[in-house]
Amino acid sequence: MKRREVLGFIGGAGVGWSALPVAARAASSAGGFAVQRVVIVGGAWAGLSAARELRLRAPELDVLVIDRDPVLRSLPLSNPWLVGRTPERMPRLNRAALAAGLGYRFVASDVQRIDPAQRQVYTTQGVFDYDWLLVSTGLTYDYSDWFGTDQQTVKAAQELFPAGNVAGELDALKQRLQGFKGGNLVINVPAPPSRCPPAPYERAMLLAWWLKTQGIKGKVTVLDAGGGLPRFTRLFAERYPGFIDFHPYTAIRSVDPFARRITTDDGDVAFEHAMLLPPMRASTLVEQAGLCGLDPQGRAVPWAAVDHLHLRSLANERVFLAGDLLGTVSPLFGHYPKTAHMATRLGLCAARQIAARSRGASAEPPVDLPASVCHVWLDADPAEQLRIETTYRLRGDGVIAQAVSQHDNPQPRGEDLQWGLGLYAHALGASLER
Ligand SMILES: Cc1cc2nc3c(=O)[nH]c(=O)nc-3n(C[C@H](O)[C@H](O)[C@H](O)COP(=O)(O)OP(=O)(O)OC[C@H]3O[C@@H](n4cnc5c(N)ncnc54)[C@H](O)[C@@H]3O)c2cc1C
């Protein structure tokens, strides 16, 4: 695979279908039947895999993907790149080129509002009607516990100390790290559910390796709201003594980004630099559209509520949801792991449901359960990795059960990159240059 640093070199495998112009959609028809419109809001792992599956499974549908960012950037495999351990290994995808190659439409626009009753999506580029809607807008940070309604401090914290847990922050985070001259570098692990649970531990270890190999006088302080992942915390002590200071059960209560001071349950922590990861919640559109759920006590939760087998919204039967924004799907394990692999599989499941229902399936379409694989660095040099596999089965009582297995990879030979490129090719339909 030739490495290309340029944007947008990847398109899709063409399927010979030309997109309908936006203005003509409402009046369009094919063979006497109105063409049904599917709008996908959020074109990343979940949304793009759903778009591709819809083209393959239901080519008669008019599929439109809307995302505010014209380029898809991968969070998977970004941690070793942040510290210069590897180049940026996952190519950036040009969404419009991918859409053109696969035969669906793409609009780069910020979605401001969804009206499920009128079946309309309001964007900075106009209003789009739909027959079926997939919302796959991922998650967002929730700073309210730390800063209340003080948006100025939220903005300062995000700009000065980005966490790099959304793709748009990666370059700024790398730039901040390159300016780090030493002292206390704080990272934190928020209370679950959060995105890619092993990622902060992998990052702590890679940061410690970076301090050590660059000869930077400093340490990584890890403030963990929970008890930590034992595979990592053991390695912290064995391989990076003096470089990682691990604090389990130490949630952040507030932050002063101007004075560089964090208040925790266990006292105050001063820092020279920090990657501040606040609690997470489904993207704000989900709440705006009335698609969030309730807990068993009837209180609102900030995650999307779906029929756990079909990914259909509990609030509106024309709306499906997939990816990191999902709430609890099982009383046995709660949320699906919030990973890219899982998001692609959920996108696929939702697309199959939409395809079947758009053809008027009278019975419930068959249930597809997702799965996830995650490759994590356990050590930087020599490289050591761990593959975490998660699978699901439907129990007799209709509850989803989860099984997790871990596989050591003491001599990795690019299995993580093969996995990532495989997802691009097989789930998103990107044809990769060789
Ligand atoms: C450091 C790190 C490492 C990771 N490593 C791995 C890994 O190795 N393996 C793995 O499987 N997962 C990994 N993940 C997790 C993975 O990145 C996420 O689970 C995945 O991105 C979720 O995909 P999604 O499609 O649900 O949402 P997102 O990727 O969050 O995409 C949501 C999309 O919606 C768009 N959007 C949101 N709101 C709007 C709006 N109002 N208008 C228009 N567009 C909007 C956004 O621009 C975005 O493109 C990692 C995460 C991190 C932070």
Residues 6+ apart with CB under 8 A from 306: 312, 313, 314, 320, 321, 326, 327, 329
In this predicted structure, the answer to whether residue 89 has a pLDDT above a threshold of 90 is: yes
Q: Can you give the length of the chain in residues? A: 434
Give the whole-number percent of the chain exceeding pLDDT 90: 88
CATH superfamily of 11-140+281-366+412-431: FAD/NAD(P)-binding domain (3.50.50.60)
SS3 156: helix
Domain boundaries, the chain: 11-140+281-366+412-431, 144-278
**Does residue 14 sit in helix, strand or coil?**
coil
Q: What is the pLDDT of residue 1?
A: 34
- Return the pLDDT at 342: 98
Confidence of residue 331 (pLDDT cuts 50, 70, 90): very high
Ligand 1 shell residues, CB under 6 Å: 42-47, 66-69, 75-76, 78-79, 110-111, 136-138, 165, 195-196, 199, 283, 285, 323-324, 338-341, 343, 374-375
Indicate the class that CATH gives domain 144-278.
alpha beta
DSSP strands (E only) in 32-170 = 33-34, 37-41, 62-67, 71-72, 93-94, 105-108, 111-115, 120-123, 126-129, 132-135, 139-141
Cα 282 to middle of ligand 1, angstroms: 11
Structure tokens at 156: 């300062």
Domain 144-278 in the same topology as domain 11-140+281-366+412-431: yes
179-227 pLDDT per residue, tens: 999 999 999 999 999 999 999 999 999 999 999 999 999 999 999 999 9
**Token code pair at residue 393:** 């089965």
Cα→Cα distances 59→128, 229, 258, 356, Å: 20, 45, 54, 12
**How many Å is the Cα radius of gyration of the chain?**
22
| Amino acid residing at 378 | L
| Position 120 confidence tier, pLDDT thresholds 50, 70, 90 | very high
Residue nearest to atom 38 of ligand 1 (CA): 137
Residue 405 has pLDDT above 60, yes or no: yes
- Residue-wise pLDDT tens digits, 12-44: 443 222 333 333 343 344 455 689 999 999 999
pLDDT at 364: 75
According to the model, what pLDDT value does residue 33 have?
Answer: 65
Distance of CA 100 to the CA centre of its chain: 24
CA 418 to chain centre: 19
Q: What spacing in Å lies between the alpha carbon of 41 and ligand 1's midpoint? A: 13
Please tell me the pTM assigned to this model.
Answer: 0.93
Backbone dihedral region for residue 45 (phi beyond 0: left; psi -120 to 50: alpha; all else: beta): alpha
User: For residue 7, is pLDDT > 50?
Assistant: no
**Closest alpha carbon to 323 in 308, 302, 312, 337:** 337
Spatial separation of the C-alpha atoms in residues 166 and 176, rounded to whole Å: 16
